[in-house]
């Protein structure tokens, strides 16, 4: 019987959270945990930040966004990712963001945008180059990272998380198996009930405008930053076609958009495949943010 995996299980499937691998702190990296970057209603939003101990900078930065099907997960999933990036000369942050059903879209994106604006507002303190900021995300986090790369103040998705004078745009995006077009049904009924209805307030048929508003593909246009997509060829949760479709539209608009298909991999992968993917991610950021 064909196994159907709901998006609710994304946390358990996120190999790029480095679950089960040693989380070691490079002595040349500084890690700050639990930094408040915004307030949403009565909720303090916090991030963890890793930066190179040596060097005057300014360093390029990367915002690392956890997965969890928009209903769970937390920034701790990304600890090893930010440590790895800091060890390669980046200031890397991983923010928490509000989740459904308590908060519907675009609350999740508003919080990620607030993290980017906070990073720019504190560029001097953390030796960040505010003109060289990238984003990477996994699954639901990749969906949000893609939106960071293609939306700006004119799209009405900024929220009120502070530092409104700063831009929330990023200059490079890496998407690990993220959904890009929510107007095309690819999910199971269970995933619809557990993830998408809480996030968007109804089904695709009931709220088509909300599904389009939450679709990165809807914002793809000329002027988008470079993208890299990594996707398992056998992903049963988010089909690989989701990455291919957005990459194709970006390329038609003149944007560099590469796709790496991990043959036989599902929704996340481990071991040597994971290590290779992380290296490909880092090389991409080196090429796009260290010019």
Angle, helices 271-289 vs 79-87, to 10°: value is 50
Does residue 143 carry a catalytic annotation? no
Q: What backbone phi and psi angles, to 5 degrees, belong to 63?
A: -95, 125
Q: Which residue has the tokens 């720019």?
A: 120
Does residue 235 carry a catalytic annotation? yes
From 17, 48, 267, 277, the catalytic residue: 267
DSSP state of 125: H
Does residue 111 carry a catalytic annotation? no
- Kindly state the helix (H) or strand (E) to which residue 279 belongs, with its residue range: helix 271-289
Q: Which two tokens stand for residue 114?
A: 């607030």
On whether the CB atoms of residues 154 and 85 are closer than 8 A, the answer is no
From 48, 96, 111, 235, the catalytic residue: 235
Strand order of the β-sheet with 59-65 is: 29-40, 43-52, 91-95, 59-65, 128-138, 172-176, 227-232, 257-262
Residues 276, 285: Cα–Cα separation, whole Å:
14
From 139, 175, 243, 277, the catalytic residue: 139
Bridge-based pairing state of the strands 91-95 and 43-52: antiparallel
* Residues designated catalytic: 139, 235, 267
């Amino acid at each position: 019987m064909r196994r159907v995996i709901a998006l609710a299980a994304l946390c358990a499937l996120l190999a790029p959270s480095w679950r089960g691998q040693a989380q070691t702190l490079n002595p040349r990296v500084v890690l700050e945990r639990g930094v408040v970057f915004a307030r949403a209603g009565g909720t303090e939003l916090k991030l963890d930040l890793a930066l190179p101990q040596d060097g005057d900078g300014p360093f390029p930065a990367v915002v690392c966004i956890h997965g969890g099907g928009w209903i769970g997960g937390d920034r701790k999933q990304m600890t090893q990712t930010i440590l790895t990036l800091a060890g390669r000369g980046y200031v890397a942050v991983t923010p928490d963001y509000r989740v459904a059903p308590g908060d519907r879209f675009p609350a999740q994106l508003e919080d990620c945008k607030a993290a980017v604006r906070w990073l720019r507002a504190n560029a001097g303190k953390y030796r960040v180059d505010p003109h060289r900021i990238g984003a990477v995300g996994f699954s639901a986090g990749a969906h949000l990272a893609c939106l960071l790369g293609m939306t700006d103040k004119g799209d009405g998705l900024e929220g009120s998380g502070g530092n409104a004078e700063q831009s929330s745009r990023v200059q490079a995006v890496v998407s690990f198996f993220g959904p890009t077009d929510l107007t095309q049904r690819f999910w199971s009924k269970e995933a619809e009930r557990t993830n998408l209805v809480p996030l968007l307030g109804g089904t695709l048929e009931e709220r088509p405008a909300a599904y389009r508003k939450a679709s990165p593909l809807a914002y793809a246009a000329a002027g988008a930053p470079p993208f890299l997509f990594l996707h398992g060829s056998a992903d049963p949760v988010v089909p690989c076609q989701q990455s291919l479709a957005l990459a194709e539209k970006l390329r038609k608009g003149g944007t560099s958009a590469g796709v790496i298909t991990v043959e036989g991999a599902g929704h996340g992968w481990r071991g040597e495949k994971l290590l290779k993917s992380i290296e490909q991610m880092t090389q991409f950021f080196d090429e796009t943010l260290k010019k």
